[in-house]
Amino acid sequence: MTNVNNRKDVAGLLTEMRQKAPLIHNITNVVVTNFTANGLLAIGASPVMAYAKEEVGEMATVADALVLNIGTLTAENVESMIIAGKAANAANTPVILDPVGAGATSFRTESIQHILNEVKISLLRGNAAEVANVAGMEAEIKGVDSVSSLEDHAVIAVHAAKKIGVPVCITGERDVVTDGQELYYVGNGHPIMTKVTGAGCLLSSCLAAFIAVEDDVVRASVAGLAAYGIAAEKVVNSKPAIGPGSFQAAFLDELNSISEEDINHYKKIEGPLGE
């Protein structure tokens, strides 16, 4: 497997993604749609938001990646997600699942399992509590990351990756990415991101943009996490007193301007561990 600590490898994926401008089909939640679309445009991808069951299959077939986000869940959305997911699978298009609020209600939990039973996903991206719930591990769901230690995150991520059979990304103060064997930590980012609704949802879509141009999902995820986190750091470093409202606009600007040189200079990647 590619060693993602190779700086040229990680940084180079940003340029590859921008050159291709992959089309990312988002079936996401109503709270974050605008921020997600603008964020994808800023970093260099091409967003499309299509939800109707009459067209999602066709759209997923022409897209370069599909993102399923259950933040504002309805039965109709679940049906559309499964139709789109099956079409993406048939077209060998990667599928990223963001299980927002997994475990908060029985409907939400059952819907996630229904999606997983019908669709082969490429990456599961969530906070530790969400991923733990999807993997059948006990965790309290509060809408934020309720499993605090980095060691817990690593255990949950590895368990989930092995159980579900796909790479897992758990985001928090430090992010964890694993395929169940190799384990990587990414330390880029800033706490102000927790004050912006949709920061995690946009991240899932940005990871999809990197995965769209790189078959190694772990490598692509690490590259996307580093770029995303560094953009946030650059905002706060240039404007230490910035609040969450102004941060959103400045963050989009940094996603647009972040470079390979920024990633080479600022990336905080540890791994693989245990080798």
Does the annotation place 17 within a ligand binding site? no
Q: Is 171 annotated as a binding residue?
A: yes
Q: Annotation-wise, does 125 bind a ligand?
A: yes
At a CB cut-off of 8 Å and minimum separation 6, what does 146 contact?
Answer: 128, 129, 139, 140
Alpha-carbon span 251 to 236, nearest angstrom: 9
What's the CA gap between 151 and 2, in Å, rounded? 24
Per-residue buried b or exposed e for 156-184, using 16+ beta carbons within 10 Å of the residue's own CB: bbbbbbeebebbbbbbbebbbbbbbebbb
Q: How far apart are CA 221 and CA 122, in angstroms?
A: 11
Asked if 96 and 54 count as a contact pair (C-beta separation under 8 A), the reply is: no
Do the Cβ atoms of 215 and 257 come closer than 8 Å?
Answer: no
Per the annotation, binding residues for ATP are 125, 171
Residues making up the binding site: 49, 125, 171, 198
Residues that constitute the known binding site for substrate: 49, 198
